[in-house]
């Protein structure tokens, strides 16, 4: 999908008396969304700069492909631009609304057949010496990521939102369009499945 390209406004009108325009850099997400709904491109650019990295990060945790994650981030913000008028700050924070968009796009991508990302190919060990602790940490991280990839998509999303993105249970539930109780149940199943997957991979590694 082509990247979202939104041109900046050419010089916002100055305030009376020749003063510089008031900066919107520190406005809340919700205030910026009101401006986006009025098609103010500068507000949209500020939101993109503020939230695009986390959108791509969350997408990559679901699809495990940097190129696809980047596409998902771009598509998510295209939807933010096109559907800005439907955003209601009384129902959810902007970040929660964005997470829901990213999750839905990511889940859609995981259901489509695709080639394994190049990152899944065997890595050539570096000849440079490395501390044992760093090697162990990297090995554990790879093991955890591989086990996480085996989870059903919604369980993977629950783990990513709660444990990796640091959302509260209530925020994560809203992002996944679930009741807090349903999310708690989903997260519990995800933790148990992940624990078993990690233990299995550890056992397989010991036997190898």
Report, as an integer, the average pLDDT of 202-206: 74
What CATH number does the domain containing 152 carry? Answer: 1.10.10.10
Which pLDDT band, with edges at 50, 70 and 90, does 81 fall under?
A: very high
User: Residue with structure tokens 């020749």?
Assistant: 18
The CA–CA distances, whole Å, from 75 to 7, 59, 82, 86, 207 equal 17, 11, 10, 17, 44
Range of the domain at 166: 130-208
Task: Judge whether residue 59 has pLDDT over 90.
Answer: yes
pTM of the model: 0.70
Task: Judge whether residue 25 has pLDDT over 70.
Answer: yes
Count how many domains the chain has: 2
Task: Judge whether residue 112 has pLDDT over 50.
Answer: yes
Report, as an integer, the average pLDDT of 80-101: 93
Q: Decide if 8 is inside a domain.
A: yes
What per-residue confidence (pLDDT) applies to 116?
39
52 and 149: one domain? no
Which of the pair, 113 or 28, is modelled with greater confidence?
Answer: 28
Which pLDDT band, with edges at 50, 70 and 90, does 208 fall under?
A: low
Q: Decide if 123 is inside a domain.
A: no
Tens digit of each residue's pLDDT (9 = 90 or more) over 116-167: 343 433 333 344 444 545 544 666 777 777 788 888 889 999 999 998 888 9
10 Å CB burial of residue 33 (0-12, 13-18, 19+) is buried
Task: Judge whether residue 63 has pLDDT over 50.
Answer: yes
């Amino acid at each position: 999908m082509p990247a979202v390209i939104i041109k900046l406004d050419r010089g916002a009108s100055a305030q009376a008396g020749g003063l510089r325009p008031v900066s919107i850099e520190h406005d809340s997400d919700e205030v910026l969304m009101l401006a986006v709904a009025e098609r103010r491109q500068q507000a949209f650019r500020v939101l993109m700069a503020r939230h695009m990295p986390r959108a791509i990060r969350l997408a990559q945790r679901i699809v495990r492909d940097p190129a696809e994650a980047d596409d998902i981030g771009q598509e998510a913000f295209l939807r933010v631009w096109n559907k800005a008028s439907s955003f209601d700050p009384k129902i959810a924070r902007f970040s929660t609304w964005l997470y829901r968009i990213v999750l839905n796009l990511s889940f859609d991508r995981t259901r489509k057949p695709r080639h394994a990302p190049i990152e899944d190919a065997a890595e050539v060990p570096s000849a440079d010496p490395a501390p044992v602790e760093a090697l162990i940490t990297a090995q554990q991280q790879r093991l955890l990521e591989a086990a996480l990839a085996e989870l059903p998509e919604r369980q993977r999303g629950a783990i990513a939102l709660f444990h990796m993105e640091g959302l509260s249970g209530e925020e994560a539930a809203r992002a996944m369009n679930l009741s807090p109780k349903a999310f708690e149940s989903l997260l519990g199943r995800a933790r148990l499945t992940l624990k078993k997957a990690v233990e299995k991979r550890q056992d397989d590694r010991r036997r190898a």
